[in-house]
Amino acid sequence: MTERRKPSLFVRALHLWFLLSRGLTLGVRGAVIDAEGRVLLIRHTYVKGWHLPGGGVERGETALDALTRELAEEANVEMTGPPILHGIAHNGHVSRRDHVLVYEVRAFRQSAPKQPDREIAEAAFFPLDALPEGTTAGTRARLAEIEAGRATAARW
């Protein structure tokens, strides 16, 4: 069983601000899978582990707008076809009010590999059967569901 790590003080403060300013938080994550069956994972500079790219849905933004923006910002990925909504999960690790829409993205192009910046330490494609050490339990669970054609678990 993977040990759960507490979010950093910065991440907890950010989510507290979201809680106070929004009440409910909604996020998106994209399982970007290429023609070779590899998945795109990112490693942030401010939180441990490898994750599916994604982030919060901003005011006035649709979930698809947010996914489009986050994939471009975090991975230089542009969707060339509609993503498939894999499911919705409650992410109680972040807050009691956080929900994440998980999309499967197979129609896309990447203009160039993502270079490290202040937010993204690393972004790379990995075979589904050889995920890097440090891939979060939630990320592994979502990818296993997608690979097996199972519905998303209710909880992240």
pLDDT of 99 above 70: yes
Q: Which of 33, 53, 57 is nearest to 122 (CA)?
A: 53
Distance separating alpha carbons of residues 105 and 125, to the nearest angstrom: 13
pLDDT of 132 above 60: yes
Q: What is the CA radius of gyration of the chain?
A: 15
Which pLDDT value is given to residue 18?
64
Q: Considering the chain, what is the average pLDDT of its residues?
A: 91
Which pLDDT value is given to residue 93?
78
β-sheet bridge partners, residue 18: none
pTM of the model: 0.84
Out of 3.50.50.60, 3.90.79.10, 3.10.50.40, 3.40.50.970, which CATH number does the structure's domain 25-148 have? 3.90.79.10
Which pLDDT value is given to residue 137?
95
pLDDT of 122 above 80: yes
Which pLDDT value is given to residue 145?
97
Question: Of residues 93 and 83, which shows the higher confidence score?
Answer: 83
Domain positions in the chain are 25-148
β-sheet bridge partners, residue 43: 50, 122
Which pLDDT value is given to residue 138?
95
Give the pLDDT mean for 59-63: 95
Using an 8 Å Cβ cutoff, are 30 and 53 in contact?
yes
Distance separating alpha carbons of residues 96 and 141, to the nearest angstrom: 20
Distance separating alpha carbons of residues 78 and 69, to the nearest angstrom: 9
